Chains A and B, each alone.
Chain A
Amino acid sequence: MEIIKEASPHIRRRDSLNRMMVDLLIGLSPVLVFAFAVYQLAAVRNLFVSVGAMVAAEFVYVLIVNRLPKDGKKHSLGEKLRYGASHYRLSNFLVPTVSGLLYGLITPACFASVWTGSYWAVANPYNPLTDGYAYFVLIAGALFGLVVGKLVFGGTGHNIFNPAAAGFIFAKECFGSRYRVANYFDVYFNNITDVQTGGTFLNGSYSASASYSNYSLLDLLLGRTPGLMGEVCKVAILIGLAYLLIRHTIDWRITLSFLGTFVFLMFFAGLVVNSKDASIGVFPFVGYQLLSGGVLFGAVYMITDPVTSPMTSPSRVLYGTIIASSTVLIRLLGRSDYVKEGMCFSILLGNMVSPALDYYKWSTSKFTVKNLIPMVVIPLVALAVILWALGVSLPIVSSGSGSSSAGGSSASGSTSSGTDASAGGTTKAVIAGLPFLRGWL
């Protein structure tokens, strides 16, 4: 019998990277089920292509970094490939699969194959059912996300940016006009094929039935809105969150500090908005902000990515507050249509500061008075900026031009008819400024 000498400790926790990734897949499954059920083949197509692109990129990366050591002999190509492939492990498949799913879930159901006009003004009609589909947008984003977002830094565990967020920003910035959230939703849900009126919801020429202000908080919660495939159904995201927390796959500190700071800042912003226009309640305001766009999806699946978040508890809390402050600032004060949603840029901003939060002279593993200071100061500075900006310059929205073209129901109202103009133009204007249904940006 052989006796092996090894260093202590001699037992390990039942745990592994693969287990964590499988848990993430299970945590994503409610969102995936929703996407498959609602968007059907479009979801299958988007997810399959983005996962396939990322897994393939990772496989090529494994072949590149594991080359046969030079021993003076000639090796055939097959031999070289077999040597590289022998270093391919299960985690090389699971990790890019998770990244690919995350990326695929924040794509719209269709990418227009034709140039449909600028982001805010539709030039060409586009029908997702009959017109072509721009695969290259999807694949370009996926490859950029994995290669530039992760592999160039050295693969799993070494990346600075979240691959899914990096890929999304790339695709959106380069091919933004091809993101056609509205059309697809209209076609499938409202049976509207009048794609002349497609485009964004925030501008003049939308069809009344597709107006965001026709959606109640319940609609937002259940996902009965247009939007990017994964982020619309908040119930599915919350189920995923519960599973991930039970399995300790994500750190609750990040999610909690993010959501806490977000609600805190939005509450005070809501107070200001309410004082200017009493028809907008504070709590509906906060509710719409929380349940619209990618806030919950980002808070559950994206900012909690352990590789791109800091390592100690105080740093993680600070990380959540930084991302939340940035998101709120961009959402409320961003003048450009492109940055209205704010979540994805905030994630990348948080990813950028996280190495600084881990700087060895600053990071401590226990909460001290000293490291509580930035956690309090950063949201308070953001709050001061928001209060000042909102107080000085209402209307806070830049899309007032389109706001009067159709009536909207009140923010919290459940509605089926877009012709109810009881809430009046101001409500519309303020709500219109909020990027409820715009997806990530």
Chain B
Amino acid sequence: MILKTRAIKDHKLQLGGIPTEKVAVPDFLFLATNNARCAAAEVTIPVGAHVNLGEPIGIRHAAYFDQPIHATASGTFVGLEKHYHRSGKIVDFIKIQNDFKDTLDPSIHDRTDAEIAQLTRADMAEILKEDSLVGLGGSSFPTYVKFQTSRPIKTILLNGIECEPFITADQRLLLEDPADLIAGIKLLQQAFSCRDARICVKAKHRDIFALYAKVLAAYPNSGITIVPVGNFYPQGWEIAMIKSATGISVPVGHLPSEYGIANFNVSTAAGVYLAVKHRMPVYERYVSVCGDGIVSPKNFSVRVGTPVKFLIDRCGGYKNPEIPKVFILGGPMMGASLPSDDCILTKTVTSVIVMNERTYSEEPCIRCGSCVLSCPVGIQPVQIMNAMRQTPVDKDKVKALNPLLCIECGLCTYCCTSMIPLLEYVRRAKIVAKLP
């Protein structure tokens, strides 16, 4: 097909209509020490110590920030154990034996409304830093950094788009937890002294628009609106979202704040409320478990640190275990495939997808140009592939084709008529282009 890909078919695996199931907290919880953004970490409590829910038990060190690790259940620190992290690496996890009491840490008590009214942007940045809130849509970018900007913000955008197929975590949050979300948005409005806050949701989610017509009527003059945006992929990419919701084109490589825009995921906004009002770090999140390798796909509200196997058992296990599976954390377009199901849910895992393995027979490129038509940043993946296939690789040519603009959305591989993994070539080209 010579066709630009807009919407990605869900293959009838969408779970949006299934209510969230709150699962029990498992016997053991695991908290990652280092992660993709933080190379080093230390645990500040001795083995065998008792921990409370929300208690800081370690620190992750990154290049320019430190991030406390909080316990997500009360119990006993058993020791370190190696598991797969969502980044695909094996890292040390802090193992906590759950005592099922959920004793709150003494530091966790609500702020009064009067206290909250006093908070400035800098205060909130400090609070979010202590509670180690990160972008919960999957980016894991520390949220407080966005609060440190001194630029004036005219519009706050709340990303509830979830443009990748199969994922429904944010959709369920929007449907089931509007109060926390709106409280979080109000705090964001206060922090950025900005009235205009827009929740961006795909136009096809009529149930969400119907619900928010009622919910927002209870907050007259709050400045919060819900705007329908396109149903296409990658609408959730911040530049595409800003373009659809406000009409402003942010060039690739510039920060949205330069254009007076602050954007947050809806889960992050709910996390802001949790941190500011309750002094509580994110300890629970919405996760969808789906794919054609799962017996009964479900949406879950789970404790951070739950092993994925625990959830898969709640879904009835694997379907057709004789077929090899692909095990994905995140969406099917950009998510990481892990070599084992022995992994742990972190704050930023939006979904677990188990798919039966599909093999594609690669054919020669017939230059149909679908990848060029589909590319959201306007580069030419097929030309990059041809440049990378040359021996020796012409570095100037690769650089001239701008592979560094690539956001790795995966559309080029997705739409290839000849089933060529174009994104792999572009990834290699990015490495070549970075060479001096």
Contacts and interface: CB of A to CB of B under 8 A. Distances in A.
Interface of A: 1-17, 19-20, 89, 91, 155-158, 247-251, 306-307, 309-313, 316, 358, 360-361, 363-366
A306 B333 contact: no
Contacts of B417: 15-17, 20
A375 to B, nearest CB: 17
Interface in B415-432: 415-419, 421, 423-424, 427
B383 A358 contact: yes
A237 to B, nearest CB: 19
Contacts of A249: 1-2
A430 B421 CA distance: 55
A19 B418 CA distance: 10
Nearest to A7: B424
Contacts of B5: 13
Contact of A9 (B321, B322, B373, B414): B414
Given A6-B326, A307-B366, A358-B383, A17 B2 contact: no
Contact of A365 (B324, B339, B379): B379
Nearest to B384: A360
Contact of A250 (B2, B408, B427): B2
B372 A311 contact: yes
A11 B1 contact: no
B3 interface: yes
A6 B368 CA distance: 25
B433 interface: no
Contacts, number: 158
A2 B325 contact: yes
A10 B363 contact: no
A15 B3 CA distance: 11
A366 B378 contact: yes
Given A3-B325, A3-B326, 13 more contacts: A1-B318, A4-B337, A5-B339, A8-B334, A9-B410, A9-B411, A12-B416, A17-B417, A89-B361, A157-B364, A251-B369, A306-B367, A306-B369
Contacts of B373: 313, 365
Given A4-B326, A313-B373, A10 B335 contact: yes
B419 A248 contact: no
A424 to B, nearest CB: 48
Contacts of A16: 363, 417-419
Given A5-B339, A13-B414, A363 B383 contact: yes
B281 interface: no
Interface in B369-419: 369, 372-373, 375, 378-380, 382-383, 387, 397, 400-401, 408, 410-411, 413-419
Given A157-B367, A249-B2, A366-B378, A8 B361 contact: no
Q: How large is the interface on B (under 10, 10 to 19, 20 to 34, 35 or more residues)?
A: 35 or more
Contacts of A10: 326, 328, 332-333, 335, 337, 353, 355
Contacts of A11: 8, 11, 165, 332-333, 355, 414
B358 interface: yes
A9 B372 contact: no
B340 interface: yes
A158 B386 CA distance: 11
A5 B338 contact: yes
B367 A311 contact: yes
21 contacts: A1-B318, A4-B357, A5-B326, A8-B332, A8-B333, A8-B410, A9-B333, A11-B414, A12-B416, A13-B1, A15-B415, A17-B366, A20-B417, A157-B418, A248-B1, A251-B369, A309-B367, A311-B380, A316-B369, A360-B383, A360-B387
Contacts of A313: 369, 372-373
B1 A15 contact: yes
B335 A156 contact: no
Given A9-B413, A251-B2, A360-B397, A17 B379 contact: no
A311 B1 CA distance: 13
A363 B369 CA distance: 12
B277 to A, nearest CB: 37
A1 B321 contact: yes
B360 A12 contact: yes
A49 B318 CA distance: 53
B264 interface: no
Contact of B400 (A3, A14, A17, A361): A361
Q: Which 8 A-B pairs have the closest CB atoms?
A: A9-B410, A157-B364, A2-B324, A248-B3, A311-B369, A1-B321, A5-B339, A17-B363
Contacts of A364: 378
A87 to B, nearest CB: 12
Contact of B338 (A3, A19, A155, A365): A3
Contacts of A248: 1-3
A312 B372 contact: yes
